[in-house]
Chain A
């Protein structure tokens, strides 16, 4: 391994069928990999079969069955997973989350970020290769393209040829199927925010709301553009993670590596020929690894930041090695150390435990513990006590002193509850307003709360009291909220 991630890419070998990967930027005169915004060499990834392709397709199925299926599941007579933005409530199976529960979302995002760091340090770009929506949708859109236009060779020929009726028909069919897939994706996305069955009904009766229509189209268009047109350019130029993932890599990180020692010098030869007699290595220079690459790189030039770790080149090369009767694994998952030391799986596993991974794992364990503890301790009842700004204190009948508060109660459970309001902290302190309140499921209400103290017990100034709100139906729902009771100073009387 000669090139670490993040280093400038070395001179790439000529790509398949003689077409250079590098393109000349218009007018600049220097050979640069411009891509995206001006001259981009279109990449026609070739279909690949093998162990890793199956793994990637399993990941596509898993994530997409989850994504497209989840909104259709019903739980407690409502959509199981619904981010009801209009009502500012998030339903996730049994739980109802409110904006006040933002901390859980934050912890969840931190968990995701630290997991990504850990996975990257151990196994490289697993996320990019198997789970990232960009990879997943590109895979789906490529499959559609392949079904309609044919594999790499047929597509290259089709694009190079003149616009015939057949070409127009194939292109139109492809874009129609892409648009349908993109629409369904946008529809599902919006279905996470508006109940999807309602959304479906509205769509069928052509009464979709303006913003819903807009967001379905927006998300659908983004899917169509990213998976159909942008593809690898999103990873190369737009993805922030792709830019800094090299920082998490070290010499023990699992990467897709070409065994230079075994492969070089590369060269074509007959199936029966003895490579030793010809002075050749195992690489038959068939360029399959380049043709299957969704980012169009040549992995034989060493690790490059464009490599999303999808392992398509491993599958492609293994097929060729098998045909040639050579051992598989000329391109394989390995680490820089393992390649240098010629150690196999054991050597790789032995080095998984190292300071970097231990630090990431420690961080991850801490954040996950915090999240689980916070979720476990979460009481689905929230209470806010706000002092009435109008009057500090007033004297009522029997010489009692009264303070008035506004009690904001949020029943974050999915069942109705009766709550008893009590107060403690000073002798003789009592609730003079309605002591029991009824709350509908998942609702918020404000109540006036009047608290009285016998005049004899008032010490003057502000004294700490505690207001408790307890569910009467014994769901162990109780919240204690601190407040202040103000009474006039004795010397002022």
Chain B
């Protein structure tokens, strides 16, 4: 499941980052961007590349929260029921007694 989750987070974020990269850098010239009031002293290629990864990271953060919120609170937190009292099919039924 972990690999699947990682793919769910990174892959849609990658697709969105491609789109963002095209739209953002078509509308804004990296040479015109300021960073805390100072012009960015980097080549356009650097800014395009760093920008792509920034978009990817932002998209991944959003996907991560989506994945996280999709899980029920019982999956994320400590289950109030003892391990033996958990319903049939519960992923934590057979789990270690601590969680």
Contact = CB atoms under 8 A, between A and B. Distances in A.
A85 B44 contact: yes
A240 interface: yes
B46 A211 contact: yes
Contacts of A240: 15
B27 interface: yes
A211 B49 contact: yes
Interface string B40-65: 00011110110000000000000000
Contact of A85 (B1, B7, B27, B48): B48
B45 A37 contact: no
B1 A102 contact: no
Interface string A237-248: 110100000000
Interface of B: 1, 3-4, 7, 11, 15, 22, 25-27, 29, 43-46, 48-49
A474 interface: no
Interface of B is mostly: helix
Contacts of A102: 26-27
Interface in A207-258: 209, 211-212, 214-215, 237-238, 240
A214 B45 CA distance: 11
A372 to B, nearest CB: 22
Given A36-B7, A88-B44, A214 B49 contact: yes
Given A99-B26, A102-B26, A86 B4 contact: no
A341 interface: no
Centre residue among B25, B26, B44, B46 by max chain A CB count within 10 A: B26
B4 A99 contact: no
Contact of B1 (A37, A105, A209, A212): A37
A86 B26 contact: no
Nearest to A215: B49
A127 B66 CA distance: 31
A268 B18 CA distance: 51
Contact of A86 (B1, B3, B15, B44): B44
27 contacts: A36-B4, A36-B7, A37-B1, A37-B4, A38-B1, A38-B4, A85-B25, A85-B44, A85-B45, A86-B43, A86-B44, A86-B45, A99-B26, A99-B27, A99-B29, A102-B26, A102-B27, A105-B22, A105-B26, A211-B45, A211-B46, A211-B49, A212-B45, A215-B49, A238-B7, A238-B11, A240-B15
Nearest to B28: A99
B45 A209 contact: yes
A429 to B, nearest CB: 33
Given A36-B4, A38-B3, 15 more contacts: A36-B7, A37-B1, A37-B3, A37-B7, A85-B44, A86-B44, A86-B45, A88-B44, A99-B26, A102-B27, A105-B22, A209-B45, A211-B46, A212-B45, A237-B7
B8 to A, nearest CB: 9
A75 to B, nearest CB: 23
A277 B4 CA distance: 51
Nearest to B46: A211
A441 to B, nearest CB: 20
B22 to A, nearest CB: 8
Interface string A297-315: 0000000000000000000
Q: Closest 3 CB pairs between A and B?
A: A37-B4, A37-B3, A211-B45
Nearest to A87: B44
Contacts of B22: 105
Interface in A74-89: 85-86, 88
Interface in A326-368: none
B26 to A, nearest CB: 5
Contacts of A99: 26-27, 29
Contacts of B4: 36-38
Nearest to A88: B29
A240 B46 CA distance: 30
Nearest to B30: A88
A284 to B, nearest CB: 39
A37 B5 CA distance: 9
Contacts of B27: 99, 102
A209 B46 CA distance: 11
- Among A37, A38, A240: residue with most chain B CB under 10 A: A37
Nearest to B5: A37
Interface in A186-222: 209, 211-212, 214-215
A239 to B, nearest CB: 10
A207 to B, nearest CB: 15
Nearest to B49: A211
Contacts of A38: 1, 3-4
A238 B15 CA distance: 10
A85 B29 CA distance: 10
A215 to B, nearest CB: 7
